[in-house]
Copies of this chain bind each other. A is one copy, B any other.
Amino acid sequence: MKAEIITSGTELLLGEVTDVNTPFLAGQLAALGIDLYYSSTVGDNFRRFSGVLRQAWERSDLVIITGGLGPTQGDITREVIAGMLGEKTRVDADLKKEVEAFFSRRGLEMPENNIKQATVIPSAVALHNAAGTAPGWWVEKEGRIIVTMPGPPAEMQEMWHRHVLPRLREKSGAVILSRTLKTWGLSEGKVDELVTPYLGSANPTLALYARPDGINLRITAKAATEAEAGAMLAAREGEVREILKHHVWGADAATLEGVVGKLLCDRKLSLAVSESLTGGRLSSTLSGTPEVAGCFKGGIVLTTDASGVGNENAAAMARSARLQFGADIGLAIAGFYHDDPGAPRGSAFIAVDMEKESRSAEAPGLPGRVPLRISRTINHALIYLRDFIESLPA
């Protein structure tokens, strides 16, 4: 199946909004094994939009459109599709009730121009919008498909997962499942070398991606049934985990702070932190992590002048944070924030401190620009903390 994406909206062509729908949809299509050959953006102009849609319709089996489903005169996606297919729009009574209900739940009357959101064409099935007033359309005609969804990413993604993805899975006649394993502490080249035997496999496939949170491995299995695909996926995951062992710290949507935070709370340990190089980013990462709520007691942010740099400084910072906040564990990152020309590039020291034990170490070389170095140092500190907790007697 050959797919094509059209994002519509003059605001995109004025640079006022960054299109995040295309990368989302592109990733989803890739995971489904559907080839995406083109994507394009067009403004709210009937003639140009119609031209882009006609071309897509002629060269692709599946056209996915986002945007242009609002109630204003500039929202023309429905009219463009109807015009291209030579069909007439009509108001659907059930859809009209849905749109009216959306407003009445908010104690409002439906503005008259919202009526266009309740229209369909004969080839279209409306897709319910759980997060807004604009229903999408699933259009099937002459063996080809047009899907149109609202532009706001949250509405679009909700509709995609609930209504579009299941239909596409059914069309493809196969179940495709994928799982992403996340690693830390190995270079892309090393991971590549270790899993070489599996990289050539056609099903399940295995692909590597370098990400700020480490090297990710995506396993994708395709089979006739969900059970079969799931079993293939699980088997390959087991083999890959066996090779990479504790370098795998999580899977899929897991975050390193979430994984380490959960470990901490499960062990009923509380944490305080002190940081210089990372300037508050470690604290703000932990504050924003639900898994660590209640176990994170607080943080101190120092400037490098005040903290110094080295194993001893880091250890003193960790201890001092632990004592100031009355936590079980203190974790510290000491280092240079700015690209200080006088400093050895990327010096960073990590320390953990408990009443009866403390450890510290220099973090490995930190390549990249400052923001990337900071996020890598935080990941390194979190892994250091994980290993420390796991080494404690249960």
Chain A residues in contact with chain B, CB under 8 A? 12-20, 22-30, 36-43, 45, 48, 52, 209, 278-288, 290, 293, 296-303, 306, 325, 337-338, 370
Point out the residues of chain B lying under 8 angstroms from A37, CB to CB. 13, 42-43, 45, 48
Q: What are 20 inter-chain pairs, A to B, with CB distance below 8 A?
A: A15-B29, A15-B30, A17-B23, A18-B23, A19-B22, A22-B41, A37-B48, A38-B52, A39-B41, A278-B284, A279-B286, A279-B288, A280-B280, A283-B283, A287-B301, A293-B338, A296-B303, A297-B303, A298-B300, A298-B303
Whether A301 contacts B283 in the complex (CB less than 8 A), given A19-B23, A23-B19, comes out as yes
Point out the residues of chain B lying under 8 angstroms from A23, CB to CB. 12, 15-19
Secondary structure class of chain A's binding surface, majority of residues? mixed
Point out the residues of chain B lying under 8 angstroms from A48, CB to CB. 37-38
Copies in the complex: 2
Complex contact A306–B298 (CB within 8 A): yes
- CA separation between A278 and B39, bound complex, in Å? 39
Q: Which of B18, B24, B281, B287 contacts A20 (CB 8 A)?
A: B18
Which chain B residue has the least Cβ–Cβ distance from A14?
Answer: B30
- CA separation between A138 and B218, bound complex, in Å? 40
Q: How far is the CB of A132 from chain B (nearest CB, A)?
A: 15
The CB with the most chain B CB atoms within 10 A, among A16, A30, A282, A284, is that of A284
Which chain B residue has the least Cβ–Cβ distance from A371?
Answer: B288
Complex contact A27–B40 (CB within 8 A): no
